Chain A
Amino acid sequence: DAGVTQSPTHLIKTRGQQVTLRCSPKSGHDTVSWYQQALGQGPQFIFQYYEEEERQRGNFPDRFSGHQFPNYSSELNVNALLLGDSALYLCASSLVRDYEQYFGPGTRLTVT
Protein backbone atom coordinates (compact mmCIF):
# COMPACT_ATOMS: atom_id res chain seq x y z
CA ASP A 1 0.00 0.00 0.00
CA ALA A 2 1.70 3.14 -1.24
CA GLY A 3 1.84 6.06 1.12
CA VAL A 4 1.76 9.72 0.18
CA THR A 5 4.26 10.56 -2.53
CA GLN A 6 5.55 13.96 -3.62
CA SER A 7 7.65 15.19 -6.51
CA PRO A 8 10.16 16.55 -7.04
CA THR A 9 12.28 15.99 -3.93
CA HIS A 10 14.29 19.16 -4.32
CA LEU A 11 13.87 22.23 -6.49
CA ILE A 12 15.87 25.40 -7.01
CA LYS A 13 14.19 28.41 -8.60
CA THR A 14 14.97 32.07 -9.15
CA ARG A 15 12.94 34.97 -7.76
CA GLY A 16 9.97 35.80 -9.98
CA GLN A 17 9.70 32.32 -11.47
CA GLN A 18 6.77 29.96 -11.09
CA VAL A 19 6.84 26.44 -9.62
CA THR A 20 4.52 23.41 -9.56
CA LEU A 21 4.74 20.74 -6.89
CA ARG A 22 2.90 17.41 -7.10
CA CYS A 23 1.33 15.05 -4.61
CA SER A 24 -0.29 11.63 -4.84
CA PRO A 25 -2.39 10.71 -1.80
CA LYS A 26 -2.34 7.47 0.14
CA SER A 27 -4.42 4.80 -1.52
CA GLY A 28 -8.09 5.25 -0.67
CA HIS A 29 -7.77 8.84 0.52
CA ASP A 30 -9.85 11.58 -1.11
CA THR A 31 -8.64 14.77 0.61
CA VAL A 32 -5.30 16.52 0.14
CA SER A 33 -3.87 19.33 2.27
CA TRP A 34 -0.74 21.37 1.67
CA TYR A 35 1.53 22.83 4.32
CA GLN A 36 4.60 25.09 4.22
CA GLN A 37 7.36 24.52 6.75
CA ALA A 38 10.05 27.18 7.08
CA LEU A 39 13.32 26.21 8.71
CA GLY A 40 12.93 25.74 12.46
CA GLN A 41 9.17 26.27 12.38
CA GLY A 42 6.11 24.07 12.51
CA PRO A 43 4.18 23.48 9.28
CA GLN A 44 1.66 26.16 8.30
CA PHE A 45 -1.57 25.22 6.53
CA ILE A 46 -1.86 26.51 2.95
CA PHE A 47 -5.11 24.94 1.68
CA GLN A 48 -7.10 21.74 1.39
CA TYR A 49 -8.74 20.10 -1.63
CA TYR A 50 -11.69 17.73 -1.74
CA GLU A 51 -13.81 16.75 -4.75
CA GLU A 52 -11.53 18.87 -6.93
CA GLU A 53 -12.40 22.05 -5.05
CA GLU A 54 -10.53 24.18 -2.54
CA ARG A 55 -12.29 23.48 0.72
CA GLN A 56 -10.36 25.69 3.10
CA ARG A 57 -7.49 28.10 2.86
CA GLY A 58 -4.91 29.38 5.29
CA ASN A 59 -3.33 32.81 5.43
CA PHE A 60 -1.40 32.64 2.17
CA PRO A 61 -1.54 35.10 -0.76
CA ASP A 62 -3.20 34.36 -4.08
CA ARG A 63 0.23 33.57 -5.54
CA PHE A 64 -0.37 30.16 -4.00
CA SER A 65 -2.92 28.13 -5.93
CA GLY A 66 -3.75 24.50 -6.29
CA HIS A 67 -5.65 21.86 -8.13
CA GLN A 68 -7.01 18.41 -7.45
CA PHE A 69 -7.51 15.87 -10.21
CA PRO A 70 -10.22 13.20 -10.54
CA ASN A 71 -7.75 10.56 -9.28
CA TYR A 72 -7.35 12.69 -6.08
CA SER A 73 -3.77 13.71 -6.83
CA SER A 74 -2.99 17.37 -6.37
CA GLU A 75 -0.71 20.18 -7.48
CA LEU A 76 0.51 23.26 -5.66
CA ASN A 77 1.47 26.21 -7.83
CA VAL A 78 3.37 29.24 -6.62
CA ASN A 79 3.76 32.28 -8.90
CA ALA A 80 6.18 35.20 -8.69
CA LEU A 81 8.47 33.40 -6.27
CA LEU A 82 10.00 35.32 -3.39
CA LEU A 83 13.05 34.46 -1.33
CA GLY A 84 10.69 33.90 1.60
CA ASP A 85 8.97 31.08 -0.25
CA SER A 86 12.00 28.90 0.38
CA ALA A 87 10.71 26.09 2.58
CA LEU A 88 9.78 22.44 2.83
CA TYR A 89 6.36 21.91 1.25
CA LEU A 90 4.42 19.03 2.73
CA CYS A 91 1.40 17.27 1.34
CA ALA A 92 -0.97 15.36 3.60
CA SER A 93 -3.86 13.09 2.68
CA SER A 94 -6.87 11.88 4.61
CA LEU A 95 -10.42 10.70 4.23
CA VAL A 96 -12.92 13.54 4.37
CA ARG A 97 -14.66 12.21 7.48
CA ASP A 98 -11.57 10.80 9.18
CA TYR A 99 -9.30 13.59 10.28
CA GLU A 100 -6.04 11.67 10.73
CA GLN A 101 -3.59 13.05 8.21
CA TYR A 102 -0.72 11.16 6.59
CA PHE A 103 2.22 13.18 5.32
CA GLY A 104 4.50 12.75 2.35
CA PRO A 105 8.29 13.24 2.40
CA GLY A 106 8.01 16.84 1.24
CA THR A 107 9.54 18.95 -1.51
CA ARG A 108 12.41 21.23 -0.55
CA LEU A 109 12.09 24.49 -2.52
CA THR A 110 14.99 26.92 -2.59
CA VAL A 111 14.47 30.35 -4.14
CA THR A 112 17.63 32.26 -5.05
Chain B
Amino acid sequence: KQEVTQIPAALSVPEGENLVLNCSFTDSAIYNLQWFRQDPGKGLTSLLLIQSSQREQTSGRLNASLDKSSGRSTLYIAASQPGDSATYLCAGFNFGNEKLTFGTGTRLTIIP
Protein backbone atom coordinates (compact mmCIF):
# COMPACT_ATOMS: atom_id res chain seq x y z
CA LYS B 1 0.00 0.00 0.00
CA GLN B 2 1.42 3.33 -1.08
CA GLU B 3 1.78 6.01 1.58
CA VAL B 4 2.88 9.56 0.80
CA THR B 5 4.26 12.04 3.33
CA GLN B 6 5.03 15.73 2.99
CA ILE B 7 7.14 17.60 5.52
CA PRO B 8 6.91 20.33 6.65
CA ALA B 9 3.17 20.93 6.81
CA ALA B 10 3.75 24.67 6.52
CA LEU B 11 6.61 26.87 5.32
CA SER B 12 7.13 30.65 5.23
CA VAL B 13 9.97 32.23 3.29
CA PRO B 14 10.83 35.79 2.16
CA GLU B 15 10.16 36.75 -1.42
CA GLY B 16 13.00 36.05 -3.80
CA GLU B 17 14.38 33.02 -2.00
CA ASN B 18 14.80 29.62 -3.60
CA LEU B 19 13.05 26.80 -1.76
CA VAL B 20 12.57 23.05 -1.77
CA LEU B 21 9.43 21.10 -0.88
CA ASN B 22 9.80 17.46 0.07
CA CYS B 23 7.69 14.39 -0.66
CA SER B 24 8.41 10.82 0.40
CA PHE B 25 6.65 7.60 -0.59
CA THR B 26 6.82 4.03 0.66
CA ASP B 27 6.31 1.95 -2.49
CA SER B 28 9.20 2.35 -4.93
CA ALA B 29 7.17 0.62 -7.69
CA ILE B 30 5.72 4.00 -8.48
CA TYR B 31 4.62 4.61 -12.07
CA ASN B 32 4.61 8.39 -11.94
CA LEU B 33 4.55 11.23 -9.45
CA GLN B 34 2.61 14.46 -9.87
CA TRP B 35 2.97 17.77 -8.10
CA PHE B 36 -0.12 19.93 -7.72
CA ARG B 37 -0.88 23.41 -6.51
CA GLN B 38 -4.08 24.19 -4.61
CA ASP B 39 -5.30 27.65 -3.74
CA PRO B 40 -7.67 27.95 -0.74
CA GLY B 41 -11.04 26.34 -1.44
CA LYS B 42 -10.12 25.60 -5.04
CA GLY B 43 -9.36 22.56 -7.16
CA LEU B 44 -5.94 21.14 -8.04
CA THR B 45 -3.67 22.54 -10.73
CA SER B 46 -1.12 20.10 -12.09
CA LEU B 47 2.38 21.55 -12.03
CA LEU B 48 4.67 18.73 -13.08
CA LEU B 49 4.45 15.01 -13.75
CA ILE B 50 7.51 12.79 -13.57
CA GLN B 51 7.39 9.34 -15.14
CA SER B 52 9.20 6.53 -13.35
CA SER B 53 11.77 6.41 -16.16
CA GLN B 54 12.61 10.09 -15.66
CA ARG B 55 14.61 11.74 -12.93
CA GLU B 56 13.34 15.29 -13.23
CA GLN B 57 11.01 17.69 -14.99
CA THR B 58 11.20 21.46 -15.35
CA SER B 59 8.61 24.12 -16.05
CA GLY B 60 9.65 27.74 -15.75
CA ARG B 61 10.83 28.41 -12.19
CA LEU B 62 9.79 24.93 -11.07
CA ASN B 63 11.91 21.80 -11.08
CA ALA B 64 10.78 18.44 -9.75
CA SER B 65 12.99 15.43 -9.17
CA LEU B 66 12.21 11.79 -8.50
CA ASP B 67 14.46 9.25 -6.76
CA LYS B 68 12.67 5.92 -6.66
CA SER B 69 15.44 4.13 -4.78
CA SER B 70 15.20 6.49 -1.82
CA GLY B 71 11.43 7.00 -2.11
CA ARG B 72 11.73 10.76 -2.46
CA SER B 73 10.66 13.59 -4.70
CA THR B 74 11.44 17.27 -4.37
CA LEU B 75 9.88 20.38 -5.88
CA TYR B 76 12.34 23.25 -6.28
CA ILE B 77 10.92 26.75 -6.68
CA ALA B 78 13.37 29.40 -7.82
CA ALA B 79 13.09 33.12 -7.04
CA SER B 80 9.86 32.75 -5.07
CA GLN B 81 7.06 35.30 -5.51
CA PRO B 82 4.02 36.16 -3.35
CA GLY B 83 1.84 34.58 -6.05
CA ASP B 84 3.48 31.23 -5.28
CA SER B 85 1.67 31.17 -1.93
CA ALA B 86 -0.56 28.09 -1.96
CA THR B 87 -0.69 24.49 -0.76
CA TYR B 88 1.51 22.12 -2.73
CA LEU B 89 0.50 18.46 -2.93
CA CYS B 90 2.41 15.51 -4.30
CA ALA B 91 0.71 12.31 -5.41
CA GLY B 92 2.02 8.94 -6.55
CA PHE B 93 0.45 6.63 -9.11
CA ASN B 94 1.21 2.90 -8.94
CA PHE B 95 0.59 0.76 -12.01
CA GLY B 96 -2.26 -1.69 -11.42
CA ASN B 97 -3.68 0.50 -8.68
CA GLU B 98 -5.49 3.03 -10.79
CA LYS B 99 -5.55 5.96 -8.39
CA LEU B 100 -3.44 8.80 -7.07
CA THR B 101 -2.24 8.56 -3.48
CA PHE B 102 -1.78 12.04 -2.04
CA GLY B 103 0.29 13.52 0.72
CA THR B 104 -1.34 16.00 3.09
CA GLY B 105 0.44 18.92 1.44
CA THR B 106 2.79 21.76 2.37
CA ARG B 107 1.20 25.17 2.87
CA LEU B 108 3.64 27.70 1.45
CA THR B 109 3.57 31.40 2.31
CA ILE B 110 5.87 33.82 0.50
CA ILE B 111 6.42 36.97 2.56
CA PRO B 112 6.66 40.17 0.46
Contact = CB atoms under 8 A, between A and B. Distances in A.
Contacts of B83: none
Contacts of A106: 42-43
B10 to A, nearest CB: 11
B49 A43 contact: no
* Category for how many chain B residues contact A: 20 to 34
Interface residues of A, number: 25
B102 interface: yes
B93 interface: yes
Contacts of B4: 42
Interface secondary structure of A, over-half rule: strand
Interface stretch (A13-21, A61-69, A71-79, A94-102): A94-102
B63 interface: no
Nearest to A48: B98
Interface in A8-45: 33, 35, 40-45
Nearest to A90: B43
Given A42-B89, A105-B43, A100 B102 contact: no
Given A41-B104, A42-B103, A42-B104, A102 B46 contact: yes
Interface of A: 6, 33, 35, 40-45, 48, 55-56, 58, 88, 90, 92, 99-106, 108
Given A45-B101, A105-B42, A106-B43, 6 more contacts: A33-B99, A42-B102, A43-B100, A101-B34, A101-B100, A108-B41
Interface of B: 4, 31-32, 34, 36, 41-46, 49, 89, 91, 93, 95, 97-105
